[in-house]
Structure 1
Amino acid sequence: MGPLIPNDLIPLEWNNIIAILIGIAFGFVLEASGFSSSRKLAGVFYGYDFAVLKVFFTAAIVSVIGLYYMDYLGYLDITQLYVHPTYLWAAIIGGAIMGVGFVAGGFCPGTSLCAVAIGKLDAWVYVLGILVGIFIFSELFDFIEPIFDGYNFGNITLIDTFEWDPYWFIFIFAIVAIIAFAVADFVQKKVKKVFY
């Protein structure tokens, strides 16, 4: 459970049910926002729709502000949160493959499953491609394991690595997001004038 929900309030056995309900709610919000449309998602790369960029930037900012605010109030200890280890080459190569797949198919893995749930054929093809990719990855894992496990930097964050003050980092990150929103709106208007 989350740090604000004590286990004596909601029994541990309810974790899976709550997770399913949150997943259904998340899928509903994705679909209601139009994120099951490959055109909307690919729009970021073609410059005609930046809703995805704005939503994910906003989610990141709200999350990091919320976490540090709860830490400040004493509801959670930010140093106790799990940070997944950074495997440099695995992140770079995996990110490149994910990026190419995102541009080519117009979906990320989560939005593709949302689109499958409403019966979109292109999403079925995309998910089939994901499954084929998983199969190839598992079959070739012994060969690529040195790259997969190589350059392990441990459980690091930008704040820890550069010894930045987290509150200044959050402030600068928020300013960068606002600038990104303004640039995205400018590009979107220019692209729409050219193509529409």
Structure 2
Amino acid sequence: MGPIIPNGLIPIEWDSIIAIFIGICFGFVLESSGFSSSRKLAGVFYGYDFAVLKVFFTAAVVSVIGIYYMDYLGYLDIRQLYVHPTFLWGAIIGGVIMGVGFVAGGFCPGTSLCAVAIGKLDAWVYVLGIMVGVLLFSEFFTFIEPIYDGYFLGNITLMDSFDWNPYWVIFIFSIIAVVAFALADVVRKRVKKVFY
């Protein structure tokens, strides 16, 4: 279940039930934060709403600080965490497709499902587009497999790639987050003056 819960305390059969409960709570938080609104989500690209940037940047900073602090205290072994393998071309092309879809549709896959749950029609269209994309990807996978598997870099992180001290990276990342929040507020105020 995690580094805080000892093995055997919660039976493995409960994992799916706990995952469903966590998913419901996550969906509730997304909806409560307004993340089921495509206008709010796309606002970061147009400069009038940076809530998405602030929430996800904050989540990343808090997570990385928490993980390394738990490693420092001995509750977690950072070397045992799974690092997703990097396929450079797949990541670049997938990132471009995801970014264009985010700007055009105003949703990411998670927030689109949250919006579907409350009955938003634009989210239904977006999810249908995701399903069509998955179908096309699976049907043409043999043709795109060389790109998908191309330029494999292994299970690496930025710290591994550049041999950086993780604590300095976390510190710099935190500073970047604070600067990004300040710049986002400046941009939002200027855009608000122009359009409102």
TM-score, structure 1 normalization: 0.99
Is the partner of 2:154 in helix, strand or coil?
coil
Farther off after superposition, 143-152 or 8-17 = 8-17
- CA–CA distance in 2 between the matches of 1:70 and 1:115? 34
Is the partner of 1:153 in helix, strand or coil?
strand
**Which amino acid in the other structure matches residue 16 of structure 1?**
S
**Which amino acid in the other structure matches residue 52 of structure 1?**
V
- CA–CA distance in 2 between the matches of 1:66 and 1:77? 12
Aligned counterpart, 1:39: 39
**Which stretches in structure 2 are left out of the alignment for 5+ residues?**
none
Q: Is 1:130–2:161 an aligned residue pair?
A: no
- CA–CA distance in 2 between the matches of 1:82 and 1:8? 21
**Which amino acid in the other structure matches residue 180 of structure 1?**
A
Question: Shift of residue 179 of structure 1?
Answer: 0.4
Q: Runs of at least 4 residues of structure 1 off by over 3 A? A: none
Query: Residues 69-110 of structure 1: CA distance to partner in whole angstroms, max 9, x if unpaired?
Result: 000000011011010000000000000000000000000000
Aligned length: 196
Aligned counterpart, 2:181: 181
Question: What pairs with 1:85-104 in structure 2 (closer than 5 Å)?
Answer: 85-104=85-104
Aligned counterpart, 1:169: 169
Aligned-residue CA RMSD (Å): 0.5
- CA–CA distance in 2 between the matches of 1:142 and 1:6? 43
Question: Shift of residue 8 of structure 1?
Answer: 2.0
- CA–CA distance in 1 between the matches of 2:120 and 2:178? 34
Is the partner of 1:31 in helix, strand or coil?
helix
Q: Is 1:107–2:98 an aligned residue pair?
A: no
Query: Residues 15-45 of structure 1: CA distance to partner in whole angstroms, max 9, x if unpaired?
Result: 0000000000000000000000000000000
Aligned counterpart, 2:71: 71
- CA–CA distance in 1 between the matches of 2:2 and 2:116? 29
Query: Residues 138-180 of structure 1: CA distance to partner in whole angstroms, max 9, x if unpaired?
Result: 0100000000001000000000111111111000000000000
- CA–CA distance in 2 between the matches of 1:184 and 1:58? 14
Query: Residues 88-139 of structure 1: CA distance to partner in whole angstroms, max 9, x if unpaired?
Result: 0000000000000000000000000000000000000000000000000001
**Which stretches in structure 1 are left out of the alignment for 5+ residues?**
none
Is the partner of 2:67 in helix, strand or coil?
helix
Aligned counterpart, 2:2: 2
Aligned counterpart, 2:14: 14
Q: Identity over aligned residues, as a percent?
A: 82
- CA–CA distance in 1 between the matches of 2:6 and 2:18? 14
Question: Shift of residue 53 of structure 1?
Answer: 0.2
- CA–CA distance in 2 between the matches of 1:8 and 1:149? 38
TM-score, structure 2 normalization: 0.99
**Which amino acid in the other structure matches residue 15 of structure 1?**
D
